[in-house]
Structure 1
Amino acid sequence: MRTILYSLLLFTAQFLTAQTATKEQIISDLPEIEITEGINLHIISPEPIQYVDLSTYKLTGDMPTTNIARIKITDTLDSDGKEKVKKPVVFFNGDQIGIITVVGQSFIAQYKAVYRNQENLNTITNIHIQPEAMQPIEFEKMVFSNLELRKFAMDIVQKKTEKNPIRKEKNLKLNVQLNNVYVMSDYIFLDMTFKNNSNLSYNIEDLKFSIEDKKIHKATNNQSIELTPLFQLNQNKHFRKNFRNIYVFKKFTYPNSKVMMIRLIEEQLSGRNIEMKINYSDILKADTI
């Protein structure tokens, strides 16, 4: 009985290890990508690329967009592999000239770059990373202190506000605008400006953020989910003309049937309140800090 139980436990442990262990990659098993001098190879990722590694100086590249890595053969090298002395690079058809590694948000993909001469009319100019080439990875989620969040917020404030803000609302000589949306790890930063075009200063009683139904029907109740910023750069409750602030939230999502509602409310006995709706598509267009 003990032998059977031990064998069962050993089999279960081996099975779980096989299911959870990341497969080791061997160079000979990597898929090949053909590349030719004078022709850029574009690697298209299904999600934003976090990191690209080119194993040799024979290859060079850049990222024209967050989802595309552009790779090409280096034109000239010196004997140390550095671009100092202009010396033409000579390759022979079929030579392996490096390993290309692309890391996305949830995967790593690696390829062998193989040289093909210009006479080969079938040289590939772009590839989409396929599921079979992806190895799953999971990055540890970052947790930032208020000091770090303040630094990121100050970096945003140093940027000039966009001439065309994402959203803008006017009411009773008040302007509220969403200058831009930024993202860092699992944090969303809202860059907002408030303008008072009257001669009366504005005393803020509350600034409320919530997720609400886009369309409210009489027969149903509006479902409102309140959002509370984890951090805000300025704690000012009073401004005369202009007031810019950064509000930081933990990453959130909401469907197209809902909107993010922002309400600026003045102290009691005043009717100078203003609200602004933000679609989720505005959040999806967030820039990285």
Structure 2
Amino acid sequence: MKAILYTLLIFITQLFTAQTATKEQLISDLPELEITEGISLHIISPEPIQYVDLSTQQLTGDLPSTQIARVKIADKPESTDKEKSQNLFLHYNGDQIGVITVVGQSFIAQYKAIYRNSENLNTVTNIHIQPEEMQPIEFDTMAFSNLELRKFAMDIIQKKSEKNPIREEKNLGLSVQLNNVYVISDYIFLDMTFKNSSNLSYDIEALKFSVEDKKIHKATNNQSIEMTPVFQLNPQKHFRKNFRNIYVFKKFTYPNSKMMMIRLIEEQLSGRTIEMKVNYSDILKADTL
């Protein structure tokens, strides 16, 4: 009986692995990237890059931004073993000089780096990673990449703003509205609008989110827990009249004795500040997309 159960367990494990395993990638099947001495190749990713690997010391690179990997042929090092150094960095047209691996939030892409001499006038200087070059990485199904979060946020922003917002605060010619709350998997999306009825434009110093006690007693300290969005659709820091944005948080909870506090703070010298309190019941009534 134990032998039968053991055999059945192995079969189920193999079946599950066969359904979820990522296809093997052979070097011979990798797409080619041409690279020339003295010219940097910029690899542009559709989502933030988590990791880059250059398989040989003939290549070097860095990440000038979260979505761009810069790769170039390394300079010849000064070495006491001149012959070894010269042979290692001696390239012929069409030579494969390494494998470039780029890992995003939800994919891995790999390329063969092919040497082209400087006489080649059609040297590539930048490429966009194409969908057919990406192999998906199996992550927790509850985790979304920034690209996916942006898509969800764009779906929300294309909806008309609610005529009757869930919450609204007005002060000093400013208005902050919580238009709606949405939930997708383990993420909470806050749809917010900021309005300025004054003739002075508003320069945002900070928009702070925190969970705080509803009642603050003199004998106790206010316990404030700062919350940072994992994504926001628009990083805009300035608006004249109206500004609508989507702020995304990983799922959170807080008791009825606490509330979410949203503070919009202006840069000095004016320093206009407006606060909004959000009850947990407002979060519990979140819509789904």
Taking structure 1 as the reference length, the TM-score comes to: 0.52
C-alpha separation in 2, matches of 1:286 and 1:224: 23
Residues 66-115 of structure 1 show CA distances to partners (whole Å, capped at 9, x for unaligned) of: xxxxxxxxxxxxxxxxxxxxxxxxxxxxxxxxxxxxxxxxxxxxxxxxxx
Matches for 1:1-289 after TM superposition, within 5 Å: 141-289=141-289
Query: Structure 1 residue 142: deviation in Å?
Result: 1.6
Equivalent in the alignment of 1:29: none
C-alpha separation in 2, matches of 1:211 and 1:143: 23
C-alpha separation in 1, matches of 2:142 and 2:237: 31
Query: Structure 1 residue 268: deviation in Å?
Result: 1.8
Residues 9-54 of structure 1 show CA distances to partners (whole Å, capped at 9, x for unaligned) of: x8xx99xx9xxxxxxxxxxxxxxxxxxxxxxxxxxxxxxxxxxxxx
3-state SS, counterpart of residue 247 of structure 1: strand
Which letter maps to 1:218? K
C-alpha separation in 2, matches of 1:230 and 1:245: 14
Residues 98-156 of structure 1 show CA distances to partners (whole Å, capped at 9, x for unaligned) of: xxxxxxxxxxxxxxxxxxxxxxxxxxxxxxxxxxxxxxxxxx64210000000000000
C-alpha separation in 1, matches of 2:181 and 2:146: 19
Residues 266-289 of structure 1 show CA distances to partners (whole Å, capped at 9, x for unaligned) of: 002223100000000000000001
3-state SS, counterpart of residue 283 of structure 2: helix
State the aligned residue count.
154
C-alpha separation in 2, matches of 1:161 and 1:284: 20
3-state SS, counterpart of residue 281 of structure 2: helix
3-state SS, counterpart of residue 178 of structure 1: strand
3-state SS, counterpart of residue 253 of structure 2: coil
CA-atom RMSD, angstroms?
Answer: 1.6
C-alpha separation in 1, matches of 2:270 and 2:284: 35
Query: Structure 1 residue 209: deviation in Å?
Result: 0.1
Equivalent in the alignment of 2:87: none
Runs of 4+ in 1 over 6 A off after TM superposition: none
C-alpha separation in 1, matches of 2:187 and 2:141: 10
C-alpha separation in 2, matches of 1:284 and 1:142: 19
C-alpha separation in 1, matches of 2:142 and 2:212: 29
Taking structure 2 as the reference length, the TM-score comes to: 0.52
Structure 2's unaligned 5+ residue stretches are 10-139
Task: Say if 1:180 and 1:192, in contact at 8 Å, map to a contact too.
Answer: yes
Structure 1's unaligned 5+ residue stretches are 1-9, 18-139
Task: Say if 1:207 and 1:263, in contact at 8 Å, map to a contact too.
Answer: yes
C-alpha separation in 2, matches of 1:249 and 1:187: 6
How much identity, in percent, do the aligned residues show? Answer: 84
Which letter maps to 1:159? K
Equivalent in the alignment of 2:90: none
C-alpha separation in 2, matches of 1:230 and 1:287: 19
